[in-house]
């Protein structure tokens, strides 16, 4: 079954340090997309970064980078130089093709708390 696993319910990091949020996935499809979303306490879902299954290089977007290890089926999010505003829930998600149509499957999320 196609599934996303986030094993860290909560993570703590000090401001200005880097933090890695873990994500593993399970799919037999050769073509898939991996996404990270941020949900601050205000509730909205904010798209952060995307990695395609055929992409050779790890995706980067500003302070966010995705450590994609295809053989291990992992897509960890690395946040460099953490800021107080990074405190939020972070969700890893994967697009799967359901009878030819895209569907987004989410992990259970990791709550990140950045301390001063």
Partner 1 sequence: DTAVSQTPKYLVTQMGNDKSIKCEQNLGHDTMYWYKQDSKKFLKIMFSYNNKELIINETVPNRFSPKSPDKAHLNLHINSLELGDSAVYFCASSPSLAGVKDTQYFGPGTRLTVL
Compute the distance between CA of residue 59 and CA of residue 33 in angstroms, rounded to an integer: 12
Compute the distance between CA of residue 39 and CA of residue 91 in angstroms, rounded to an integer: 8
Which residue in 37, 77, 112, 114 binds partner 1 (CB under 8 A)? 37
Question: Which 3 state secondary structure label does DSSP give 101?
Answer: strand
Which residue carries 């909205």 as its tokens?
Answer: 44
| 35 near partner 1, rule: CB under 8 A | yes
| 31 near partner 1, rule: CB under 8 A | yes
What number of chain residues touch partner 1 (CB under 8 A)?
Answer: 29
| 104 near partner 1, rule: CB under 8 A | yes
Supply the minimum distance, in Å, between the C-beta of residue 16 and partner 1.
27
Bridge partners of 79?
19, 64
Supply the minimum distance, in Å, between the C-beta of residue 103 and partner 1.
6
DSSP code per residue over 52-86: ETT-SS--EETTEEEEEETTTTEEEEEE-S--GGG
* Tokens standing for residue 35: 């996404």
Supply the minimum distance, in Å, between the C-beta of residue 11 and partner 1.
15
Which residue in 39, 58, 74, 87 binds partner 1 (CB under 8 A)? 39
Binding site for partner 1 (CB under 8 A): 31-33, 35, 37, 39, 43-47, 50, 52-53, 89, 91, 95-98, 100-106, 108-109
């Amino acid at each position: 079954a196609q599934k996303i696993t986030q094993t860290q319910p909560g993570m703590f990091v000090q401001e200005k340090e880097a933090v890695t949020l873990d994500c593993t996935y399970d799919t037999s499809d050769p073509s898939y997309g991996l996404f990270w979303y941020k949900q601050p306490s205000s509730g909205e879902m904010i798209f952060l970064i995307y990695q395609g299954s055929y992409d050779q290089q790890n995706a980067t977007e500003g302070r966010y980078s995705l450590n994609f290890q295809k053989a291990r089926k992992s897509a960890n999010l690395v946040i460099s130089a953490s800021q107080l505003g990074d405190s939020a829930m972070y969700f890893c998600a994967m697009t799967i093709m359901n009878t030819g149509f895209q569907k987004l499957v989410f992990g259970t999320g990791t709550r990140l708390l950045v301390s001063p």
